Amino acid sequence: MSIQKICATQTYTNLSEVRNDLVVVIDEDGTILSLDNKDDHDPASIRFFQGALVPGYVNAHCHLELSHMYGKVNTGTGLLPFIESVVSFRDTDQIVIDEAIRKADKSMWDNGIVAVGDICNKPDTFETKRLSPIYYHSFVEMFDFLQEPLARETYDRYKEVYDVAPADGWNARSAVPHAPYSVSKNLFQLINQLNQNSDTIISIHNQETPSENQLWQDGRGDIIPLFSKFGFSYDGFKPLGKGSIHYALSQFLPGQHVLFVHNTLTESHDIEAAHEYSDQTFWVSCPNANLYIENRLPDYKSFMDSDATVCLGTDSLTSNWQLSIFEEMKTIARFQSYVPTVELVKWATLNGAKALGLEDQLGIIDVGRRPGLNLITLNKDGQLDHSSTSTKLV
């Protein structure tokens, strides 16, 4: 295919206000050559579309290696029974695991996703990532159930995964803590030493379930009883008297670039504390997974009121029906319809690109970039609704 000229009813460039009848001229690898007025071109040379053109989607939180668990875990159980269930399925046949990973990678590409922040505990996804057209940032995730004496051996085990994670060209990697309820201070220190500086992009699951906040508030809730069942001891555990995000903030390197993931229980004062800690904080929401596991959504209004940079993730096929950022947008539009479409598009594209340090390349429709292009349909009020569709054009 040679040069293409694409013109949709509207174009969300993420640079300026929404443009009508803009002609996007692209070369054969998808690089944008020019943005023109419709009248500057012979209509016969243009492909016209009804709907809105948006940049390629960024999935800021996924667990590609859990793709084989699609449909295996019940919905609505709450986070802790969910984790127990996931652990019980971890010894599936490797051929089944590998095939599910390849299929999920392809489905994300077909769904218009161009970059993914992906959590890994094992090296299973690395071969697929090396071959994929999608940009992957592999977050090699570590956790020791808050057991200080286990930190070193836990770190050594995951460091082997980190060492073989793809990190060349269209791939990046970093070592990351799993969650404030599962990473000891010792392990945080080892992770910090490996990452060395605050520019390293890290990610952490945050404030996903009431027990997590309660653990750091007063040491009560379901987490210590559950982990004790695995044989761990919490005799010396000292709560902070504050929500779990405050433990994480006290353990990161100063001013670190952090993706906080889920945030279903995060309140304005937590967001403000994180903003004070660093100007590189990103708030990744996975609404379909939140509905699947805990049957609740974050309070998006408090994030918007705090000028937080919200981005979107699918989480894994263990807790979702598909890996589609567009379906995440539709879910927010359905349950929290006050979020304007222009904002949702930004969450799904530019903000995710910023979260992964890719804002110079992805998330904006502009000359010289190769952001990927998706066509979405909106209702007569210009909003997403249940019948909206998304088609990958480039």
* Residues of the shown chain interacting with Zn ion in the complex, contacts defined by CB under 5 A: 315
Residue 285 or 341: the one with the smaller Cβ distance to Zn ion is 285
- Kindly state the smallest distance separating residue 262's Cβ from Zn ion, in Å: 7
Q: Provide long-range contacts, Cβ within 8 A and 24+ apart, for 68-74.
A: 68/92, 68/96, 68/97, 68/99, 68/100, 68/101, 68/317, 69/316, 69/317, 69/318, 70/100, 70/317, 70/318, 72/318, 73/318, 73/319
Token readout for 342 is: 């222009």
- CA dist., res. 231 & res. 252, Å (int): 28
- Kindly state the smallest distance separating residue 35's Cβ from Zn ion, in Å: 37
Residue 315 or 328: the one with the smaller Cβ distance to Zn ion is 315
Q: Which residue is nearest to Zn ion (CB)?
A: 315
- Kindly state the smallest distance separating residue 85's Cβ from Zn ion, in Å: 14
Residue 143 or 155: the one with the smaller Cβ distance to Zn ion is 143
Residue 179 or 365: the one with the smaller Cβ distance to Zn ion is 179
Q: Which of 182, 56, 40 is nearest to 113 (CA)?
A: 56
At 244 the three-state DSSP class reads helix
- Kindly state the smallest distance separating residue 283's Cβ from Zn ion, in Å: 14
Three-class secondary structure assignment of 327-349: HHHHHHHHHCCCCCHHHHHHHHC
Residue 314 or 374: the one with the smaller Cβ distance to Zn ion is 314
- Kindly state the smallest distance separating residue 385's Cβ from Zn ion, in Å: 28
- Kindly state the smallest distance separating residue 171's Cβ from Zn ion, in Å: 20
- Kindly state the smallest distance separating residue 290's Cβ from Zn ion, in Å: 11
Count of beta carbons in the 10 Å neighbourhood of residue 88: 10
| Residues with Cβ within 8 Å of residue 205, at least 6 apart in sequence | 178, 179, 261, 262
What are the distances in angstroms from CA 255 to CA 60, 177, 313, 328?
20, 16, 23, 29
Residue 128 or 290: the one with the smaller Cβ distance to Zn ion is 290
- Kindly state the smallest distance separating residue 169's Cβ from Zn ion, in Å: 26
Residue 294 or 315: the one with the smaller Cβ distance to Zn ion is 315
Token readout for 271 is: 């967001």
Total residue count of the chain as it appears in this document? 394
Backbone angles phi, psi at 114, to 5 degrees: -115, -15
Residue tagged 């793809």 (tokens):
166
Residue tagged 């977050």 (tokens):
139
Residue 6 or 323: the one with the smaller Cβ distance to Zn ion is 323
At 394 the three-state DSSP class reads coil
Residue 82 or 300: the one with the smaller Cβ distance to Zn ion is 82
List, in sequence order, the alpha helices (H) in 111-237. Answer: 126-131, 151-163, 185-195, 210-218, 223-229
- Kindly state the smallest distance separating residue 315's Cβ from Zn ion, in Å: 5
